[in-house]
Each structure stands twice: as structure tokens, then as C-alpha cells.
Amino acid sequence: MTSRTCLSVILAAGEGTRMKSALPKVLHPIAGLPIVAHVAKAVHSAGGSDIALVVGRGADAVRDAVQSVVSHVTVHEQTERLGTAHAVLAARDAIARGYDDILVVFGDTPLIETAALDRARAKLARGADVVVMGFRPDNPTGYGRLIEKDGKLIAIREDKDASDDEKKIGFCNGGLMALRGDSALQLLDKVTNANAKGEYYLTDVVEIGNALGKSVIAIDIAVDNVIGINTRVELAEAEAIWQNRKRRAMMLAGVSMQAPETVFFAHDTLIEADAMLEPHIVFGPGVSVATGAVIHAFSHLEWAKVGPGANVGPFARLRPGADLAANAKVGNFVEVKNTRIGVGAKVSHLTYLGDATVGADANIGAGTITCNYDGYNKALTEIGAGAFIGSNTSLVAPVSVGDNAYVASGSVITQNVPADALAFGRAHQVNKEGRAVQLRAGYAAQKKARKAAE
């Protein structure tokens, strides 16, 4: 298949009014990636690396979404909505460049799989001129029926026009199509708008192709491949299907999950074999988890790296730039941002580390905070290998704690701590005998006066 050139025409000009959104329909995300970008990834994987993107509203944003995953994209605006064939012909210049295969897909079908597109292209390679991708729903009512005879597709009959016998056909039109490149424009240019709506329908190429003696066939693909997104309900349903596919693929690749239905992945989540995922975990974009790592329950990760054998959570949050080396530990109610945690280092609980480095085998006590932001700028905190930071310590950046140094609990550290030193940063304690009685009396009087004034 690699010797055959391929253009993928992605139709993404629909208004998407039923989404009830200012955002173009095809830009709504599934697993953190716009719908149309999922389609672009699938066709690219099927060898359709050249993409003709047919756009309408939000053209620039739609183009940017596609170009975030593939590079060879030309943009073609459909200024009028005159049917699917009209939309494909908006990309006439791209089609005319001369490709072996043309894939026509919709920008709102994010669940199309590369394997289905590969099958369609394989049929073109074996001599077909038109390949329609069909599916078999539980209830075909409302769908156009694919009418076959002697292994050939002879017509697509809309449900409202179908005879009683034709309505019994369970093989339905999915809308996606593959065309032989040297036949595509010949077929498309013969499509007319002689119908009740006055539109140019892509489905007409089936009967046109048969009339011209072309080879027109249909292939059967899974129902979820052709699911289009028109409402937020359908968006959520597609998300669920995508997540189930990802969970299954992860487990088959060697990732353990105790309750897979509670784990949610991003489109680019990478997890190596023998990692363990407990229930109720959310992966945002840009996360990689190495072999032997354990992500405990109720953790949230995005743009983070988890090294081999590392432990995260429960109830941990890894924000962008969190980087855990091998066997590092980030425990419950710990938040890490833009911080490298060294081999075997432990941050066990109730801690915030931001804009910091933590050396190998360091121990960070509960309640430790890196004070990294002064309201205008971020500053770095450096904690050396083997350092011990006592509980409830505030490290006021920029500051460094040397290798094997100790910081006493309850300290506020504003100056660098040398290696092997012990640092105390506590205020001097003063006790005022009986002052609490006076304070309570004063506070009570203030409260009484305030209520009297109300």
C-alpha cells in the first residue's frame, strides 16, 4: 500500500448548530484532542498523509487543529452548503494533482479506525473504482440502505425512498468513501442537483459509476467507526467508546487496571507494560508512565513523566513539568509542578513542590512548601541528594539546600543551607501569661458592638 499515493479529503464545513456552542463542532475534544484531529490521525496512519481540509466556520482554528497532528494540509473553503459532493469538489485543485487513492471522510467521525481505511484502500489497489464504507446497526431505520447484486453495490437508497423489501436490508451507508484517483473527478463532475433539496449528493457516484462501467463495491466496517457527532450527548457517547478502546489496548499491552472503567486517558497517554493503575485516575495530555510504576487512586496527571518503579498518590496531582525519576514517591495530597524528583526521593504527603529540583534519596516532610512565586516571577528551589526537610517547612525561593543537609521542622528557610548542615529557621517563641483572657474579652466586645450596629 505504501507505493500508492493517497489524498484524504476531510469534510469539516458543517455548522454544527445542534452542539449549541460558539466553538465549531469539529473542535470539541475527545480525550483532549479535537474531533477533527482524531480523523486526521486516522487517515494519516492509513497512508493519507496529504490532507485536503474543507472548512467553513472557524476555518483557521480547524486548520490549526489538523496541523497539530499532520503537516501536509491544504485548506479549501466551502462558501455554500450545497451537499456532500459539492463539499468534496471544493478540494478540486487538490484532487486534480493526481493521486492513486482518494479517501473522503467526515470531520465529525472521530472513531474511524485506520484498519477500516486500510481495507478500503486495499480494495482500490485490487481494481475497485468506488468503495463505500457500510455498517450494520441494530436498527437500520432512518439510514440509507446499500443495495448489492452479485457482489457489486448498485445503489444507495434513502430510507424514505426505500421499498418495503429494501427497508429489510440491514447494510447501511456510513457516508465514508474511497475513490480511485483517476476516476474521482470524472464521477464527481457528473453529480447533479436534480433532487428535492437541490443539493449535490456524494452517494450519487454509486449509480454514476455503475452507469460508466466502473467497479463499485461496499465494505462492512464496525458501527462505531461511522458515528458522527452532532450533539453534546453524542460527544459524551463517543468519548466513552474511545476510552473503552484505549483501556482495552492498554491492558492487552500489559498495563494492569483494577477498575478500568474509572480510569480516563488522554489521546497521547503512554504507559509501559507492568505499570499498575488503581481506580479513579485522570490522565491529561502529555503523560508517560514507565514500567513498574504504580498510580494510586484519585490522582490527576498532566504533562508529567513517571519513572520506572515510581509511586504516585493516592490523591496526588502532577502538573506540567513534574518529572519523577526511578523509584521516586509522591504520596497523598501532594502537588508537584515543574519539578524534577530524583531517584528514590520521597515526598510522602501534604506538600507542594513547584519550580524545584529534589536530589536522589531526599526526604521531604509533610506540609513542606516551596514558595516559588513573588507575585511577578518564579524562582528555583534546589534540594540536594540525601537532604532531609522537616515537616511544615517553607523554602523561600531562590534557595538551595545542600546534599545531606537537615532542615528542622517548622522552619522558614530564606538563605542557602550548606551540605551536611542543620538549619533552623524558626521565630523566637514568647509566652504572655493571661493574655488569652484579655484577647477573648476584647474580641467578644467587638462582636457585640458589631451586632448592635446591624
Residue 394 assigned ligand-binding role: no
Residue 144 assigned ligand-binding role: yes
Cα within 13 Å of Cα(13), Cβ side: 24
Residue 391 assigned ligand-binding role: yes
- Cβ atoms within 10 Å of 146's Cβ, excluding its own: 27
Residue 451 assigned ligand-binding role: no
Residue 12 assigned ligand-binding role: yes
Residue 108's nearest CA partner among 189, 31, 26 is 26
Residue 426 assigned ligand-binding role: yes
Supply the DSSP symbol for 21. Answer: -
Residue 301's nearest CA partner among 272, 274, 280, 325 is 280
Query: How many residues can be counted in the chain?
Result: 454
Q: Give the pairing type, strands 399-401 and 346-358.
A: unpaired
Residue 246 assigned ligand-binding role: no
Residue 249 assigned ligand-binding role: no
Residue 195 assigned ligand-binding role: no
Residue 337 assigned ligand-binding role: yes
Q: Is 76 a catalytic residue?
A: no
Residue 286 assigned ligand-binding role: no
CB 16 within 8 A of CB 38: no
CA angle 185, 13, 91 (to 5 degrees): 25
Residue 200 assigned ligand-binding role: no
Compute the distance between CA of residue 130 and CA of residue 218 in angstroms, rounded to an integer.
8
38, 44, 86, 349: which one is catalytic?
349
Compute the distance between CA of residue 138 and CA of residue 145 in angstroms, rounded to an integer.
13
Compute the distance between CA of residue 187 and CA of residue 445 in angstroms, rounded to an integer.
90
Residue 230 assigned ligand-binding role: yes
Q: Which phi and psi angles does 88 have, rounded to 5°?
A: -60, -40
Residue 222 assigned ligand-binding role: no
Residue 373 assigned ligand-binding role: yes
Cα within 13 Å of Cα(100), Cβ side: 17
Residue 13 assigned ligand-binding role: yes
CB 119 within 8 A of CB 134: no
Question: Considering Cα of 52, then 57, then 60, then 63, what sign does the dihedral take?
Answer: negative
Residue 405 assigned ligand-binding role: no
**Residue carrying the nine cell digits 506540609:** 367
* DSSP line for 44-75: HHTT--EEEEEEBTBHHHHHHHHHTT-S-EEE
Residue 366 assigned ligand-binding role: yes
Q: Does residue 264 sit in helix, strand or coil?
A: strand
Residue 415 assigned ligand-binding role: no
Residue 351 assigned ligand-binding role: no
Cα pseudo-dihedral 25, 28, 34, 37, rounded to 10: -20
Binding residues, as ranges, are 11-14, 25, 78, 83-84, 108, 144, 158, 173, 230, 319, 337, 352, 363, 366, 372-373, 391, 409, 426
Binding residues for acetyl-CoA, as ranges, are 366, 372-373, 391, 409, 426
Residues taking part in catalysis: 349
Binding residues for Mg(2+), as ranges, are 108, 230
Binding residues for UDP-N-acetyl-alpha-D-glucosamine, as ranges, are 11-14, 25, 78, 83-84, 144, 158, 173, 230, 319, 337, 352, 363
